[in-house]
Structure 1
């Protein structure tokens, strides 16, 4: 994923949820022009910090995470190119989780005041942003369901289905292979498993001919089988919405 790409994946993602007017797109281009190139494992904000701007990931991967009193980590969500964080986070007194880059990333910041103006001035943008928030909430509900009711094999399969579909939707892959910059420790931290147990689950999926694992990537060899194991229904990602009238 090159940091010098001229594509604005944030705008591309929003177009899936609403028709953006030319002035709205120009305003968004201007608002995200201040993007910074950040190294991997850089905290954008930490738990307990005072909330600041809205972060927009234009390139690279990041994650939301929480550190437990015993030092353990729970990963709460993965952020891909085009994703943004916490539309109304400025209403809170302090952060209840941290956000950190996973890979080198290009991240723009939009101040609370500027975001309020964008939402007020551009109806299509406001609609798209509210829908992205709803999709994020739907994704969180899917993760909660996995943690509470899915078996380890179903849980891992469901996450792989989700990450592959999200990546395909934004053009990060057009085949069966997905560059996956997540270590098994990170995957375990997002699935509520130990790395040893996750390794056994992934080995079972690999030996069944469902996936192939390589360093830094995963190939979904049998997507129908993987979705069947996971009980995966993409509805919570709400890709079927029709864009509304521009504004």
Structure 2
């Protein structure tokens, strides 16, 4: 009898242990992550490339700004020189008959000043040609002070044209930098959109009831 009771006790303990084991709640299986959308990777790569282009465009714009500042400084200096020489040339010069030798000397002086200014990039090639051809303000018969005033005025004109060209280049560089930045923002927004769409529970969306699909869609969003 004692042996039978012992066996029954062992069986009861085993049944109780098995019941307790099966009664323990199991963790639900973790849902598998949605497969990665290849479009996100493609757009992310395109966004990285666009960001690199945007950085280069911004660097170009900053360099263009520096060129504008330098061109304005050169124009400002040329303007001061032109005003100073013009003020000196304002004093009346006694008119007297010029000899051929004096006219030839003034002509050489004009050519020499204009050529030196062109070599120093103070005059353009077109302006040098005008000076050598004695057109416009380039009169070889004028006094050297008046010739210097005409030269300084031409240098100021050339510097101002260079400043305007630099300003236009800076404006174009800024527009290109803005377009590149807009492209980066657009691609990054596309990456976020694709990732959000890939992260939706497609299985749940397929189980929408046909009664109120619009309300269910609004609730999910």
Which TM-score band applies after superposition, normalised by the shorter structure? under 0.3
TM-score under structure 1 normalisation? 0.21
Question: Max radius of gyration: which structure?
Answer: 2
Please identify which structure carries the higher helix content. 2
Please identify which structure carries the higher strand content. 1
Q: Which has the higher contact order (CA 8 A, sep 6+)?
A: 2
TM-score under structure 2 normalisation? 0.23
